Amino acid sequence: MSKYLGRCKTGRYLTVLSFFLALFFVSTTSAAAEKGRLYVVGMGPSGPDLTAPRALSVIESADIFLCSPGMPKKFALFKKYIDPAKVAFNPWKEVRSDALRKLKETDPKAWEAGIEKGRKKVQDFIRDKINAGKTVVIMDGGDPCVYGPTLYYLLKGFDPDLFEVVPGMGAFNAASAALKQSLTPDGERFILLTAPRSLFGENWEKDDDILKDLSKYKTTMVWYMALRSLDKVVQRFEKYYPKDLPIAIVYYAGYPDKEKVLRSNLGNILEDVKKMDEWWLGLFITGQCAK
């Protein structure tokens, strides 16, 4: 009888042990099979003070960063967020190099092939890290969905189930705050966010019928990436708008130590911008809010 009871106890022990071993095997296998995640994070227009808490939380737990060289510098005082050792490489070098820019004008097909090659390199890297269970973060300035380069260049064709976009404050928000004006004052019908390439084409090949139609309405226009071709933008405006059209350029929107607001009008803006030493980081804004 005692031998029988002993065998029963041993059997129960073995059953319990088998159960826990099976449970451990399933959990470890599941953990090993668990994939990582890609986050495209809007970092705001300047630094941590205008970066959303959710974005900071995501980058704090990241395993790998893909970003421009300037991004960690903006967060240099906040090392708990961006560990330089976790920065893999600058993804923009793969799709926006000087060599590719030259090809865009001389050999468009070769340019497209170069873009696709660079995009594939970045996406293959991300996919491998996700499959290895890593959290990868691409750091976009401003808001990724408002003229953000990641969604436009890098992730074209990438499986949307593999990544999440964390919104951020854009230069548009910071610029409107710098103006200290409502962007929809009395009589303004709407706000238009655009860029020269969007309205007029990459090589200014599109006509300006849209601008002509817009001139019929009181509109606030916020132009991204307009400073380098400001003379052409102004030339188009002069066809349909009066010389006293209010214009403002907000330079370094959101940068507490660099932000400047230039207020002018259509007739004087080209002369006034000569006083400023910046031809990239600035939003060109037209409408009554620019007064």
Domain containing residue 241: CATH number: 3.30.950.10
The answer to whether residues 160 and 203 belong to one domain is no
The answer to whether residues 112 and 178 belong to one domain is no
Q: What is the pLDDT of residues 111-153, one digit of tens each?
A: 889 999 999 999 999 999 999 999 999 999 889 999 888 998 8
pLDDT greater than 60 at residue 167: yes
The answer to whether residues 138 and 87 belong to one domain is yes
Does 27 reside within a domain? no
Question: Taking CA 101 as the corner, what is the angle to CA 278 and CA 222, rounded to the nearest 5 degrees?
Answer: 45
Which residues are CB-neighbours of 59 under 8 A, at least 6 positions away? Answer: 39, 41, 65, 81, 82, 137, 139
The answer to whether residues 262 and 281 belong to one domain is yes
Q: Which of 35-49, 207-221, 261-275 has the lowest mean pLDDT?
A: 35-49
Question: What 8-state DSSP symbol labels residue 51?
Answer: S
Residue 75 is predicted with a pLDDT of 73
Q: What is the pLDDT of residues 182-203, one digit of tens each?
A: 999 888 889 999 999 999 998 8
The answer to whether residues 160 and 180 belong to one domain is no
Q: What CATH number has the domain bearing residue 153?
A: 3.40.1010.10
Can you state the percent helix, strand and coil of the chain, rounding each to 5?
45, 20, 35
Q: Is the dihedral of CA 177, 181, 182, 184 positive or negative?
A: negative
Residue 52's domain comprises 37-169
**pLDDT grade for 25, boundaries at 50, 70 and 90:** very low
Which helix (H) or strand (E) covers residue 269, if one does?
helix 269-272
Q: What are the C-alpha distances in Å from 244 to residues 4, 185, 222, 225, 266?
A: 103, 17, 17, 23, 6
pLDDT greater than 70 at residue 24: no
What does the mean pLDDT of the chain come to? Answer: 86
pLDDT greater than 90 at residue 9: no
Residue 78 is predicted with a pLDDT of 56
Distance from the first to the final alpha carbon of the chain: 100
The answer to whether residues 48 and 141 belong to one domain is yes
Q: What is the pLDDT of residues 66-99, one digit of tens each?
A: 999 888 887 776 556 788 889 999 999 988 888 8
The answer to whether residues 73 and 144 belong to one domain is yes
